[in-house]
Amino acid sequence: RPAAIIAPSILSSDFARLADECKRMVDLGADWLHVDVMDGHFVPNLTLGAPIVASLRRHTAAFLDCHLMVTNPEQWVAEFAKAGADMYTFHLEAAAGPGADDWHQLSPDAMNASVEDLCHGVRNAGMNVGIALRPKTPAELVAPYVAAGLVDMVLIMTVEPGFGGQSFMPVAAAKAAVLRAKFPDLNIQVDGGLAPNTIERAAQAGANVIVAGSSIFGAPNPAGVIAQLRGAVQA
Ligand code: DX5
Ligand code: ZN
């Protein structure tokens, strides 16, 4: 399994002090910063967009891991690249066009063309490519794109996307094992409800990139939580 990468989700930070919060996390041992972008359509919540990423870019050299929970992921590729995003992770469910926010609605052909185009577009724009799966979307659907070398990371949601602070779904985390068996070197990210008491399930399934919002920002000793998450992945 590749090295552990701990990515605090700035969704749980004080947005009025974003630059300081980011610096604090990097100083406490964060490897990446996870940036949750929500459009009020793919998920029932609004957060931030490329202008905030561009501002943040001027204050930190950290790897900006952007998670696009949006209906039209192709719409923001150029803007995020220009803003300085390092990783652009779009949802597989959103990749077949407006309205297809559930994998059941995707026709295989429409999905293939659209996902491949997006992967190329993101990479050509100079960013790493991530594909995210809602908790109920089968891991097998993403395997062909990984096998074709189009993808740098797969994000397995371990809560329904939309809000921080929800409960970890062990069944969703178990999907990591399907991908880890096929792809020993793939970065597999888990996101949602990760904390010292849930990390074990995710780590055992083979996840190595750990997003955590409330468990890190809400802790009296965030550095300790970051170290614990890292330790569990490396064990
Ligand atoms: C949820 C977001 C997560 C969220 C995680 O839609 O994608 O990144 O911030 O927060 P916690 O760790 O609190 O579940
Ligand atoms: Zn996220």
- pLDDT at res. 110: 74
Tell me if 162 sits within 8 A of 45, measured CB to CB: yes
Q: In the CATH scheme, what is the code of domain 5-234? A: 3.20.20.70
Expressed in angstroms and rounded, the spacing between residue 15 Cα and the centre of ligand 2 is: 16
Q: Whose CA is nearest to atom 9 of ligand 1?
A: 164
Pick from 48, 111, 114, 115: nearest CA to 85: 48
| Contact predicate 15/22, CB 8 Å | no
Is residue 188 scored above 80 in pLDDT? Answer: yes
Q: Tell me which residue has its CA closest to atom 10 in ligand 1.
A: 164
Q: Report the pLDDT averaged over residues 63-86.
A: 97
Instruction: Please give the pLDDT value at position 169.
Output: 98
Structure tokens at 144: 């062909």
The domain spans of the chain are 5-234
DSSP letters spanning 5-52: EEEEBGGGS-GGGHHHHHHHHHHTT-SEEEEEEEBSSSSS-B---HHH
pLDDT of residue 232: 98
How many CB atoms are located within 10 Å of the residue 80 CB?
Answer: 25
Q: What is the arithmetic mean of pLDDT over 91-96?
A: 88
ipTM of model = 0.99
Q: Are 152 and 187 in contact (CB under 8 A)?
A: yes
pTM value surpassing 0.95? yes
Is 15 a known ligand-binding residue? no
Higher pLDDT, 1 or 134: 134
Q: Does the beta carbon of 65 sit less than 6 angstroms from any atom of ligand 1?
A: no
Confidence of residue 105 (pLDDT cuts 50, 70, 90): low
> Tens digits of per-residue pLDDT, 193-217?
999 999 999 999 999 999 999 999 9
Average pLDDT over residues 44-64: 98
Rounded to the nearest angstrom, the distance between the alpha carbon of 33 and the centre of ligand 2 is 10
Angle in degrees, CA 73, 77, 81, rounded to 5: 150
Tell me what pLDDT residue 138 has: 93
Per-residue model confidence (pLDDT) at position 69: 97
